[in-house]
Amino acid sequence: GAVVSQHPSWVICKSGTSVKIECRSLDFQATTMFWYRQFPKQSLMLMATSNEGSKATYEQGVEKDKFLINHASLTLSTLTVTSAHPEDSSFYICSARDGQKHYGYTFGSGTRLTVV
């Protein structure tokens, strides 16, 4: 149980374009999902908390206009990297927890974004 699906697994885009990453909870409802970013050999850094039906909560230093988060349903959250630049290249991972069970937080498989 508690499966989180993330797509795409990788994406290469040109500077200035926008990229959308999807995160779905497959067998549970997630009113809250979390988006992390991980640079090579570093820890997972929380970017934002995605709340179903309301605005996302962004961590300090994360530009909300650049990283648009939409949590339109209880099973889907999307992260859109707008006007991507090479410094946005990173591993983006979403996470959610099945509140009905005492499971740990489940992570999606991650999306490796490369901006060229």
Partner 1 sequence: QQPVQSPQAVILREGEDAVINCSSSKALYSVHWYRQKHGEAPVFLMILLKGGEQKGHDKISASFNEKKQQSSLYLTASQLSYSGTYFCGTGQHLSGNTPLVFGKGTRLSVIA
Binding site residues, partner 1, CB under 8 A: 6, 30-32, 34, 42-46, 49, 51, 93, 95-99, 102-110, 112
Report in angstroms how near the CB of residue 76 gets to partner 1 at its nearest: 16
CB of 113 to partner 1, least distance (A): 14
Residue among 78 and 95 whose Cβ is closer to partner 1: 95
Q: Which is nearer to partner 1, 14 or 40 (CB)?
A: 40
Give the 3-state secondary structure of the chain: CCCEEEECCEEEECCCCCEEEEEEECCCCCCEEEEEEECCCCCCEEEEEEECCCCCEECCCCCCCCEEEEEEECCEEEEEECCCCHHHCEEEEEEECCCCCCCCCEECCCEEEEEC
Between 24 and 97, whose beta carbon lies closer to partner 1?
Answer: 97
CB of 34 vs partner 1, minimal distance in Å? 5
